[in-house]
Structure 1
Amino acid sequence: MTPAARLSAAIEILSTIDAQRVPAANALKEWGTSHRFAGSGDRAAIAGLVFDVLRRRSSSSYLMDADTSRARLLGMLKLERGLDVNAIAALCTGERFAPEALSADERAALTSRSLSGAPAHVAGDYPEWLDPHLTQVFGDERMEEATAMASRAPLDLRVNTLRAKREKALASIAHLGAKPTPWSPLGIRIELGADARNPGIHAEEIFIKGGVEVQDEGSQLAALLTDAKPGEQVIDMCAGAGGKTLALAAMMQGKGRLIATDRDKRQLAPIHERLSRAGVHNADVRTPKGPDDTLADIKASADLVVIDAPCTGTGTWRRNPDAKWRMRPGALEVRIKDQIEVLDRAALLVKPGGRVAYITCSVLPQENTEQVKAFVARHPEYKVLPPAKTVAVLGEWAADFGKATLQSSEGLLMTPRRTGTDGFFAAILTRG
């Protein structure tokens, strides 16, 4: 397919998303099924266009002074891809499979309009109802923070120290442009261009042998901040597919007791195969069965309880750009209730001197600092470990990383703008 034909396909898919109110991934899959002539490179490029439009939906519509699939795509080409009006016009000729030629109004918008004077939620590309919440945490910098959350994320990998060392892993996938991550001593980063396909990391020998796992650097750092140690009893209460469980297991060096569970047993489905590939032998996966509490035998004996809490996922917008436009206030309310429930359960599992690690992939204060404040008020036997002490586990990276994060008396926040990671909040709560 020509670049112009890819633009036409992206406009078609965006129209389907609007008309049928379906997730972008579903619309892209349906289009690919019905257009089998499109090769993998074409599909990747079209997906890149669609997701970039979703990332810049509000700002592109504002720039073009029109809220259509075509207008959003044209605006995105200028704002996100950096194309000028002549480059865009060269793609929109109306010839075979190409979008129609630019109108006079479209040319004028691409030439003379800008985001100057646009409201923060428009320029930052997020739902207007979230503006007070982002203002609460970021203040006048909310637009810049949100803009960074709209950029495409790199592919990050975590080296599994039970199977490999980072130097070996880097060498094995050097052909993919792999480099060390800035903060995590276990991280590897592969930068991705606008039209790039995700590299087939699952087919690489180092992955097949369990040497690396796909995990954002922010998630790696959140796991490291828990300071899980060999010989401890550690509970991963919201284990899901096992990303942080695997990281905790490596930190424990196969020594001690690691229990992984999740309220939604469907989320646990991939964890067994992942643990096997990673060489983890000290993990006990507890799948919920009926109304019985899977952790009923743990009586204030855990050294560490990790809560990778169910949340709105606002910190992962750059990976799931359509999710922010489908998010509603009711979803936040539900997640807050879920977080209170899991925090109160965790409080009873930790022994005196133990700790709870509360982690979210959200930037919203209601899910982060406010939850921690409320937890300590309900459970005065717990205190928040100061962020300066929390980051100390990172050793030589601690000081610079601490300065990069947004810190409060309740914990620390990573963001794409500040740390180059997904948005993650982490708080360590110690039981007296």
Structure 2
Amino acid sequence: MRLGGRLQAAIDIFDEIETRKRSVSEVLRDWHCSHRFAGSGDRAAIGNIVYDALRNRASISWKMESEAAIDIVYGALLNEGSFDLERIERGIAGNIVSPPFLSKDRLFLWANRNLLEAPLHVQADIPQGCLESLMFLSKVNEGIALAQRPPIDLRVNNLLSTTSKVARQLSFCGAMPVSWCRHALRVAPARGLNRRPNLQRSEAFKSGLFEVQDIGSQVVSYLCQVKPGMEILDYCAGSGGKALAFSAEMRNVGKIHAFDARKSRIVPIFARLSRANVRNVQVHVERDTLDSLLGCIDVVVIDAPCTGSGTWRRNPDMKWRLTDMQLSRRIEEQYDILEKASVFVRPGGHLVYITCSLFFEENDWQVERFLTHHSSFQLKNMRKHWNRLMPEQAPIPYVSKNGLLLSPFATGTDGFFISVIEKTI
């Protein structure tokens, strides 16, 4: 496919997402199935354009004074920086499937409107109602960082290999060690319309030598401070990313109980455990099988269901579909989970609350609410916790009253909140 065909496909897909409120992954999958002639390069290029359009929808729409799919898609291509107007016009010329080029009015607006004059939520490319919920002062900077293409982060499985060995095996894609995160490799984001490497097809992945896991997720897993011989409860285990990281930290010594009330989410964990040579994880699909663990667990980890605002770089459609009702539902669900999971912590043990959200209501406020009603739990000093465990060259996260917040702007990671709470009696 030539540029014109790719642009028209991106316009059609973006319009489907916007008008029918469907997820970007679902619409892209349907398009791929109905356009088998499109090669992998075409699919990657179209996906890049659509994702960029969603990441920067508000700012492009403001500059173009238009919410039309065609204008936002053209704006996304220009915004990324690999294409200028002349290259685009030349690329679509003579192709009958090309969309019409931008009108003179749109071209004038694009060249002359200064984004610094836009409302703050437009500069930040986030919904207006979300601006006040963000947990930091640099709201616009964080919003801009959330609208960038993310890297691919990998966690090397130190049960089977070392960071340097896996880096050599993945040198073909530019995977580089990250100095401040012990077992992490990072692959830079693809530029322009280029494909990202499909690392899950590599022999190193199939052999269990690494997992795809954002560095933020790796760091909060490390901050849980699990040790060999401990008994751990991963209460919202999902597909097992943190359970695998815990097992590697524990060198397969001790026991990890992985549970998730949403049974469909935990299904992938079995294949992942086998591939990674993890032997100390017991999977629970029914909560009553945890009853014997009441008051016995060293570290209870809650990676709570949340709005996912910290992952908007990877899931940009989520920010435009978020509603007040969804946020309220998540807040109540999180507190219910905190209540139910806290009963498993032994005296002297720790309850660790994690979200991939940047919203105050899901993070600091939840911890404050829990501590108010549970006098036997005491918050650890998270600044000291970070300084004690992380190397000097590590970026500085936000430190709030009740936790730490990693973010795209502050730490170059997805957004993650963590609070470590000790049970004193």
Q: Structure 1 residues 315 and 424, CA, compared in 2 at 3 Å: closer, same or farther? A: same
Residue 310 (structure 2) pairs with residue 315 (structure 1)? yes
Asked if 2 retains the 8 angstrom alpha-carbon contact of 1:415 and 1:423, the reply is: yes
> TM-score, structure 1 length as denominator?
0.94
C-alpha displacement of 1:272: 1.0
AA aligned opposite 1:209: S
Aligned position for 2:421: 429
Aligned position for 2:231: 233
Aligned position for 2:284: 286
AA aligned opposite 2:113: R
Whole-angstrom CA distance in 2 between matches of 1:250 and 1:373: 32
Q: 1:202 aligns with which of 197, 200, 203?
A: 200
Asked if 2 retains the 8 angstrom alpha-carbon contact of 1:89 and 1:102, the reply is: no
Aligned position for 1:362: 357
Aligned position for 1:417: 409
Whole-angstrom CA distance in 2 between matches of 1:278 and 1:196: 30
C-alpha displacement of 1:92: 4.8
Higher mean C-alpha deviation, range 99-108 or range 210-219 = 99-108
C-alpha displacement of 1:282: 1.2
| RMSD, aligned CA | 1.6
AA aligned opposite 2:290: L
Aligned positions of 1:19-418 closer than 5 A: 19-81=19-81, 83-93=83-93, 95-134=95-134, 137-139=135-137, 141-194=138-191, 195-288=193-286, 293-392=288-387, 394-395=389-390, 397=391, 399-401=392-394, 404-418=396-410
AA aligned opposite 1:12: D
Whole-angstrom CA distance in 2 between matches of 1:365 and 1:144: 17
C-alpha displacement of 1:400: 4.2
C-alpha displacement of 1:330: 0.8
Higher mean C-alpha deviation, range 275-284 or range 44-53 = 275-284
Deviation >6 Å, runs of 4+:
none
**Unaligned ranges ≥5, structure 2:** none
**SS of the residue 1:351 aligns to:** strand
Whole-angstrom CA distance in 2 between matches of 1:169 and 1:84: 38
C-alpha displacement of 1:129: 1.3
**Unaligned ranges ≥5, structure 1:** none
C-alpha displacement of 1:40: 0.6
Q: Structure 1 residues 201 and 156, CA, compared in 2 at 3 Å: closer, same or farther? A: same
Identity, % of aligned pairs? 40
AA aligned opposite 2:34: S
Deviation string 1:237-286 (CA, Å, 9 cap, x unpaired) is 00010000000111111111111101111111011111111111111111
C-alpha displacement of 1:7: 1.2
Count of aligned pairs? 423
Higher mean C-alpha deviation, range 186-195 or range 366-375 = 186-195
AA aligned opposite 1:219: S
